[in-house]
Amino acid sequence: MSNDFNADYITKIKSKKIEGITRRWLILIIGLVVLLFTIAFIVCTSLIKVYYYSSVESIVNSAASDSAVNYFENNINNGESLESSAALYIDTYSNKDSTTVWIVDNEGNVIISSNGFAVEKQKMSDYQSAMENEDGKAKFVGKLTNGQKVMAVCRVIKSSDNTKVGAIRVMTAVDNVDRQITSISVLIAFIFLIILAIIILSNLYFIRTIITPLKEVNQATKKIAEGNLDVRIEKKYNDEIGDLADSINTMASEIETADKMKNDFISTISHELRTPLTSIKGWGETLTLGNQDNVDELTKKGLQVIVKEAGRLEGFVEELLDFSRLQSGRMTLRLANVDILAELEETLFTFIERAVREGYEVKYSIPEVPCIANADANRLKQVFMNILDNALKYSRPGSKILVKAEFEKRDGKDFVKIAIADQGCGISAEDLPHVKEKFYKANVSVKGSGIGLAVTTEIVNLHNGFLDIDSVENKGTLVTIHLPLLEAPSQN
């Protein structure tokens, strides 16, 4: 039960796979939007970081201002030491809550800190840079030895003779600032994702309003191409796709009308030709079989040609009538319990005489057991004769035609398989998929209407059977008919 559920679930997922124009469209739109959003996100977060860090830097710079440096330089020039000036400055320093001030001597030792804690000597890259820079100023953003991230500005303190006696270093923690920047960045990213989802969903809806009608148009045109001219496309939008649906519907209606006229014409002509052809053939046979004593050889030969060609035309007319019934859906079967192999043997009996007369060898293998099916005997004979006739037409005199019947099981049901093989010209790989189509002729040099095999296939299908064709060009063709039986044949 679980496996069936999983299989159904996977099938549903696969059926919803986005393909074709929808996939290309979404890839293009998502790719472009993601690229633009990424650029916008980077720019926004960078500007926010610059803004916040600039604000922090301005606070630090205001603490490490020129006035603070001048305070120390004036005191030192007046004879006071750096240590006493530092103590007095720290006592009066007003920004202890937001910043920390270190007073550093010229050896890099922290003399005093505004937070009141002693500070061990540590590496201060901004102090070293300030001592080396001409303007005596440097900035540092990074972590202290205790792991706290800070922004620091260091200003050099000089005596009257321009000697560097120390520095004032003002710091402030930026961990909270970074967290705030991160929160704002996450919020911006979330907003961008919501906008991206809206864009994707709106584009997906829009593209489906195009793709869904196009799929319907595609399915309808395939059905029309297969011969289903009753198909019509529902017009959903008054746009270019709606105009396309109207055009295809109009085309289908015109094709349907023309097809009906063609079928009516074929049916009418076939019926009109059948009566005179029957009369011509009948009188020709009567004259041929009559008193021949006073008839010269040329007349005899002429009468034989008349009978032969009338018979050929009669067969062609019958094919046209069957085609007309096939097209209009009027082809029906007169079903009864029939011995299929007996009908095959009867057809072969008639066929072998003609084949031998024309120089062909026919070999067959048919089981001597009853083979009962619910079938139309006359239609089955038509199927066998059509295939045997094709084997004869497409083979060279002197070649063999082989017929074999055997029983088989298909999906637990009993079938008879009848194989008819020839050693003729064969069918090319390009033509083979189309030979069952109406009016398709793989070899135009051979006489025929091109509808016999289509009618044959339809008759087999009406018997709930199927017909296979295998062929190798210049070697021969194998036609296999599979027909269902009422019961398993008794093997005696």
Do residues 453 and 443 both lie within one domain?
Answer: yes
pLDDT of residue 10: 44
Do residues 445 and 323 both lie within one domain?
Answer: no
Residue 219 lies in a domain: yes
Do residues 57 and 189 both lie within one domain?
Answer: yes
pLDDT of residue 14: 44
Do residues 323 and 360 both lie within one domain?
Answer: no
Do residues 402 and 312 both lie within one domain?
Answer: no
CA distance linking residue 151 with residue 63, whole number of Å: 12
- CATH for 300: 1.10.287.130
Residue 8 lies in a domain: no
Domain boundary residue among 302, 328, 354?
328
CA distance linking residue 127 with residue 137, whole number of Å: 8
Give 272-299 pLDDT, tens digit per residue: 777 787 787 777 778 777 666 676 778 7
| Phi/psi at 477 (5° precision) | -130, 145
pTM of the predicted model as reported, rounded to 2 decimal places: 0.50
Q: What angle do CA 351, 357, 359 make, to 5 degrees?
A: 100
CA distance linking residue 483 with residue 208, whole number of Å: 46
What is the gyration radius of the CA atoms in the chain, in angstroms? 49
CA distance linking residue 236 with residue 213, whole number of Å: 8
DSSP state for residue 108 in the 8-state scheme: S
Instruction: Annotate 395-447 with DSSP letters as a single string.
Output: S-TT-EEEEEEEEEEETTEEEEEEEEEE-SS---TTTGGGTTSTT--S-TTS-
What string of H, E and C letters represents the secondary structure of 286-325?
Answer: HHHHCCCCCCCHHHHHHHHHHHHHHHHHHHHHHHHHHHHH
Domain boundary residue among 148, 173, 198?
173
Do residues 41 and 102 both lie within one domain?
Answer: no
Residue 4 lies in a domain: no
Scan for tokens 């295998």, then name that residue: 470
Residue 11 lies in a domain: no
Domain boundary residue among 328, 359, 376?
328
Scan for tokens 């793709």, then name that residue: 211
Residue 233 lies in a domain: no
- CATH for 96: 3.30.450.20
Instruction: Annotate 21-74 with DSSP letters as a single string.
Output: HHHHHHHHHHHHHHHHHHHHHHHHHHHHHHHHHHHHHHHHHHHT-HHHHHHHHH
Residue 307 lies in a domain: yes
Structural contact between residues 402 and 420, judged by C-beta atoms closer than 8 angstroms? yes
Do residues 378 and 466 both lie within one domain?
Answer: yes
Our count of domains for the chain comes to 4
Do residues 56 and 32 both lie within one domain?
Answer: yes
Instruction: Domain of residue 382: give its range.
Output: 336-484
Do residues 383 and 444 both lie within one domain?
Answer: yes
CA distance linking residue 388 with residue 479, whole number of Å: 10
Do residues 56 and 152 both lie within one domain?
Answer: no
pLDDT of residue 165: 87
Q: What is the pLDDT along the chain (492 residues), one digit of tens a residue?
A: 445 544 554 444 344 455 667 777 778 878 888 888 889 989 999 999 999 999 998 988 888 888 888 888 888 888 888 888 888 888 888 888 888 898 988 888 888 888 888 788 888 888 899 888 888 899 999 888 888 898 999 999 988 888 888 999 999 999 889 899 999 999 999 998 898 888 888 877 887 777 778 888 888 888 888 777 788 888 877 888 888 888 888 888 888 888 778 777 777 776 777 778 778 777 777 877 766 667 677 877 887 788 777 777 777 777 777 777 766 666 778 889 999 999 999 999 888 988 888 889 999 999 988 889 999 998 899 899 889 988 888 888 889 999 999 999 888 889 999 999 998 888 888 888 888 777 666 665 566 556 778 888 888 998 999 999 998 888 899 999 999 998 877 765
pLDDT of residue 12: 46
CA distance linking residue 129 with residue 482, whole number of Å: 96
Do residues 187 and 92 both lie within one domain?
Answer: no
pLDDT of residue 153: 93
Do residues 85 and 22 both lie within one domain?
Answer: no
Instruction: Annotate 348-366 with DSSP letters as a single string.
Output: HHHHHHHHHHTT-EEEEE-
pLDDT of residue 448: 57
Residue 235 lies in a domain: no
CA distance linking residue 113 with residue 102, whole number of Å: 5
pLDDT of residue 9: 43
